[in-house]
Structure 1
Amino acid sequence: MMLYPAMRDLLKQVPSRYMLVNVVAQRARQISSEAEQTGTPLDDKAVSIAIREVAEGKVTPQAEEE
C-alpha cells in the first residue's frame, strides 16, 4: 500500500518519525476540536488533513521551551 504523501517527503518537513507522529497527532486533535466547536463536518479524516498540511509545509514542529 502506497501512502501519499510519501514518508520521505514528510521527513523533509519534520526531522524525525517520532516528531512527525506527534506533530500530526496534535494537529489532528486541533482539527477535530475546531470542527466539533463550529459544527462543521470534515470532508476527510482529521489525520489525513493533518498529514497533508505537514506535507504542504503549513504545519511545522515547534521547539519546546525548557
Structure 2
Amino acid sequence: MLYPSIDTLLEKVPSKYMLVTVGAKRARQMKDNEDYQLEEYKAYKVVGKALEEISVGAIQLANENKEN
C-alpha cells in the first residue's frame, strides 16, 4: 500500500499535477542539500520522503496568485 495515501496528499495540495511538481522539486532539494524536515521517515527514497513531508504539513505551498 502506498504511504502516504494519495487522498491524504490531495488534502494538502489542490491537484495531482501540482503534487508531482512540488514533490519532485522538494526531492531535488533534499538530494542536493540534504535538508530534511522530519526526524524519521518510513520511505527509503527521497521522493517518498518528500511526499511524507507534504503529508504531515512540513512543506507549505506559497500562493502564487498575486493580485495587483
Q: Deviations over 1:3-61 (max 9, x none)?
A: 111101000000100000011000000000013xxxxxxx8211011010000001122
Match of 1:62 in 2: 62
* Structure 1 stretches lacking a partner, 5+ long: 36-42
CA RMSD of aligned residues (A): 1.8
Q: In the comparison of the two structures, how many residue pairs are matched?
A: 58
Q: Which whole-Å CA distance do the structure 1 matches of 2:21 and 2:11 have between them?
A: 15
Match of 2:29 in 1: 30
Runs of 4+ more than 4 Å apart: none
Q: TM-score, normalised by structure 2?
A: 0.74
More helix by share: 1
